[in-house]
Amino acid sequence: MITTDHTAPHTAPHPVPAPDVRPPPFSVISGGQVQEVLFGRERDIVKVVGDTYRLHGSGLTVNPPSSFLRFPDRRTARIIALPASIGGPTPVDGLKWISSFPENVTHGLPRASAVLILNDPATGYPFACLESSIISASRTAACAALAADQLSRGSPRPARIGFVGAGLIARYVHTFLTRTGWQFDELGVQDISPHSANGMRTYLEQTGSGGRITIHRTTEELIRNSDLLVFATVAGKPHVFEPSWFAHHPLVLHLSLRDLAPAVLLASTNIVDDIDHCLRAETSPHLTERLTGDRTFIAGTLDEAMTGQVNIPADRTTVFSPFGLGILDLAVGKYVYDAVARAGGLGCIDGFFHELRRHG
């Protein structure tokens, strides 16, 4: 005998409505808006960079190798793609697309230009395009200021700073250092272009930050007279070969990555931002690995130095070589986006995503 449960439904259950998933609005944020957000917030940006390094050290980021687009007819130029993803409480994905055309400088243009795309982690749709040369320079300078602070702990702060390369990055690094509490008695500048060196001196004079300013004739002269060195050149291969120039054990921010010969690194304590990323693309650490056949010359990462896992000896030169991780651009870009959104300044492009029906 078959019985029927009259409490059971006689029809199939209604399907659960799908969530209302739509593409986010797409916004374009100009360089003027970016600069307005970042100017005067240097301490905040240094904190953003430090927090991002900690997320990276905890495994909460994805930072694939950068891709280099090079040109057989333009040997000095390149465009680099830096994809990245940040997890944690405020996740975001994205891509920085940055070009380096050194010949621009002869025409009065900055060497680098860039855009940053931010993607929504839920749908994958991009939701913003930001002018990113300012973001890139700011995250580089914030990284330098963070490293200078963390790698000089336990020692007197350097009072003599020297800049090898006198372009936009050098200017941003000085700005971030002075606006996060650094003061210098002496400021040295050295550049193969007298025009660039004089321009940097004029900038330093206009800041009114004090300190004697000297344009040095040679890189050796500048190194020997500086306790904190900032390499911000466009050098494609090492041009500083002599470890004895560093006998006074300065702190070296090797931002341009290809200035120092392996002999200099082998005589130093080497800190990087990410070992795998830094040891590629013909950087000085990469050349040193090729020469020695191993990576034991790397003491550790900046995150490990910040968390006390790596000690920085005072009786050796310390060289910080940051490859420049895309996650830093992403974090600073999201900071800018959020600030512009809070101020009601997003310039949304209506209908940017048009074909939204799978079957028409």
Structural domain contains residue 110: yes
Structural domain contains residue 116: yes
Residue 123 CA to residue 119 CA, distance in Å, equals 8
Q: Which two tokens stand for residue 191?
A: 């550049």
Q: What is the total residue count of the chain?
A: 360
Same domain for 215 and 175?
yes
- The domain containing residue 338 runs over which residues? 27-135+327-348
CATH code: domain of residue 277: 3.40.50.720
Closest CA to 65 of 286, 236, 298, 255: 286
Same domain for 332 and 318?
no
Structural domain contains residue 206: yes
Tens place of pLDDT for every residue, the chain, 360 residues? 333 333 333 333 444 444 557 888 999 999 999 999 999 999 999 999 999 999 999 999 999 999 999 999 999 999 999 999 999 988 999 999 999 998 998 898 888 899 999 999 999 999 999 999 999 999 999 999 999 999 999 888 999 999 999 999 999 999 999 999 999 999 999 999 999 999 999 999 999 878 999 999 999 999 999 999 999 998 999 999 999 999 999 999 999 999 999 999 999 999 999 999 999 999 999 999 999 999 999 999 999 999 999 999 999 999 999 998 999 999 999 999 999 999 999 999 998 988 888 787
Same domain for 74 and 131?
yes
Rounded to the nearest 10°, the torsion over CA 349, 325, 227, 206 is -10
Residue 260 CA to residue 240 CA, distance in Å, equals 5
Same domain for 302 and 183?
yes
Structurally, how many domains does the chain consist of? Answer: 2
Residue 80 CA to residue 133 CA, distance in Å, equals 13
CATH code: domain of residue 344: 3.30.1780.10
Same domain for 319 and 332?
no
Structural domain contains residue 176: yes
Same domain for 216 and 78?
no
183 torsion bin: left (phi>0), alpha (psi -120 to 50), beta (else) = beta
Same domain for 207 and 268?
yes
Q: Which two tokens stand for residue 89?
A: 């409480």
The pTM for the full model equals 0.90
Same domain for 121 and 187?
no
